[in-house]
């Protein structure tokens, strides 16, 4: 009797394991609904702002500020005739870059921070994660820190983080104050290379 019962359950299960296909428009409907939801980068920004952190303003901060102003002035002179869009593109494309086989583009980020021990890049493209391994800048000498990393094509907000504590906007790029949180970040436009 037990064997018969077992056989019956197996036959039922076998029948029920057959695929139940969804309508052909299912994926499109889900993705349409998903696209209407806020992008995750913004959610991460909120998490970042809520996350406990220490911001220490030390002499290093003043040094950074001076270095940033100097670099900004230098680049400003180089790009005096650029309009705001051009400057936006310059922040992503100013430095040598781009060998793209995917929609992501290689973008070089540079910050002059003579007193820094560590510099990383955070943005909506890496979840505002200062520990992200691909966005850790290297010291190139003379206080210049840089990293070249993959960034998806499109508009982005980003910032530098110095010594895991001090957030510094890119002096070479336009800034935007987030309406929701009152924080200034740099902006850039990454374009697909032809």
Note whether 13 binds other proteins by CB under 8 A: yes
Nearer to other proteins, 16 or 77 (CB): 16
Report d(CA 61, CA 64) in Å as an integer.
5
**Could you tell me the two tokens for 49?**
């702002």
Residue 119's Cβ-count burial label (10 Å; 0-12, 13-18, 19+) is: buried
Note whether 101 binds other proteins by CB under 8 A: no
Residue 143's Cβ-count burial label (10 Å; 0-12, 13-18, 19+) is: middle
Measured from the CB of residue 156, what is the shortest distance to other proteins in angstroms? 8
Candidates 32-40, 50-58, 68-76, 181-189; binding stretch for other proteins (CB under 8 A)? 32-40
**Could you tell me the two tokens for 131?**
């520990």
Note whether 127 binds other proteins by CB under 8 A: yes
The bridge status of strand 175-177 relative to strand 138-139 is unpaired
Computed from CA positions of residues 125, 191, 150, 186, in that sequence, does the dihedral angle turn out positive or negative?
negative
Measured from the CB of residue 32, what is the shortest distance to other proteins in angstroms? 10
Note whether 40 binds other proteins by CB under 8 A: yes
Note whether 16 binds other proteins by CB under 8 A: yes
List residues binding other proteins (CB under 8 A): 5, 8-9, 12-13, 15-23, 26-27, 29-31, 33-35, 37, 39-41, 43-44, 47, 124-127, 152, 154
């Amino acid at each position: 009797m037990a064997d018969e019962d077992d056989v019956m359950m197996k036959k039922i299960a076998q029948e029920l394991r057959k695929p139940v296909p969804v309508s052909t428009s299912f994926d499109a409907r889900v993705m349409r609904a998903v696209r209407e939801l806020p992008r995750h980068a913004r959610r991460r920004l909120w998490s970042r702002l809520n996350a406990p952190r220490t911001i220490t303003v030390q002499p290093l901060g003043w040094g950074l500020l001076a270095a940033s102003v100097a670099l900004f002035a230098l680049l400003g002179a180089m790009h005096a005739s650029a309009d705001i869009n051009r400057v936006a593109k310059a922040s992503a494309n100013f430095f040598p870059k781009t060998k793209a086989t995917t929609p992501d583009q290689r973008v070089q980020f540079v910050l002059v921070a003579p007193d820094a021990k560590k510099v990383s890049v955070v943005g909506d493209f890496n979840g505002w994660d200062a520990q992200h391994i691909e966005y850790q800048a290297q010291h190139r000498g003379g206080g210049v820190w840089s990293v070249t990393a993959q960034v998806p094509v499109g508009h982005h907000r980003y910032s530098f983080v110095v010594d895991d504590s001090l957030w510094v906007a890119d002096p070479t790029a336009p800034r935007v104050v987030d309406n929701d949180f009152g924080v200034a970040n740099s902006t850039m436009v990454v374009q697909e290379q032809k």
